[in-house]
Structure 1
């Protein structure tokens, strides 16, 4: 197993860095539910990657994200998870608890911030979210951005 330091966390820098994507400029997006427990990111799966803070000042955090779509260029669109309850500061969808959080805390998905990640920019595949909870997120993305 590779030991990661802050400098070599997958998704933090270089060509495979996780970046914020403008959801209205990504073109046509077709969300899908297609998890395959193979170590690669697939829509419907929660994976770990470096997520830059919104200030884009070089800081960030290795955190779980839900992959929601595959892009033609080979990248993926994802939304970040948080175990902190958020009220009013952004738009969050409650997804409950799952194996992505070792302590079993409830989680929320931020649907108002879209991330673009690369296959080589993730640390590990955590699990597949069940279809019912994925569809809650998918429906909110459809309502907010018109994604199919």
Structure 2
């Protein structure tokens, strides 16, 4: 299960890139998992999440993705383009201000690997704006 979300600065960790489509969620991969709504954590929906690090051996840290175009130009959302995680190949945006701590056992499936340059761009924002290492 995913936690409702933590402020990114308060939950800063080390961001890393190490995708390996081996059935386990690794930084640099987009995975699908249930994400609780902020306004009511008892409700939520299955969504794609970019894994950006680990909290310990059991939990990964992820940033929620959205294909909603109204995120374009929003400072809390970073554009990463289209990828195999979206069946319609729409442009996607990563939410920067809310980190999800996700139990490995709650991840439904691996969706895709984000190419290194796109991941590094997100990692740079996490380091510059939110104090990640």
If the length of structure 2 is used for normalisation, what is the TM-score?
0.91
CA RMSD of aligned residues (A): 1.6
Q: Which has the higher contact order (CA 8 A, sep 6+)?
A: 2
Alignment CA distance shift 1:96-1:54 (3 Å): same
Aligned to 2:38, what secondary structure does the other structure show? coil
Aligned to 2:127, what secondary structure does the other structure show? helix
C-alpha distance in structure 2 between counterparts of 1:63 and 1:146, whole Å: 26
Aligned to 2:65, what secondary structure does the other structure show? strand
Are residues 1:132 and 2:117 paired?
Answer: yes
Aligned residues: 131
Who is 1:4 aligned against? none
C-alpha distance in structure 2 between counterparts of 1:93 and 1:24, whole Å: 16
Who is 1:114 aligned against? 99
C-alpha distance in structure 2 between counterparts of 1:93 and 1:49, whole Å: 20
Stretch of structure 1 that moved more, 33-42 or 53-62: 53-62
Verify the 8 A CA contact 1:47 1:124 in the aligned structure 2: yes
Q: Which of 27, 34, 51 is the aligned partner of 1:67?
A: 51
Q: Tell me how far 1:22 sits from its aligned partner.
A: 3.5
Verify the 8 A CA contact 1:82 1:107 in the aligned structure 2: yes
Cα displacement string for residues 63-119 of structure 1 (whole angstroms, at most 9, x for unaligned residues): 000000111252111000000011566611100001000111110001011111011
Between structure 1 and structure 2, the one with the greater Rg is 1
C-alpha distance in structure 1 between counterparts of 2:127 and 2:43, whole Å: 30
Who is 2:82 aligned against? 97
Higher relative strand content: 2
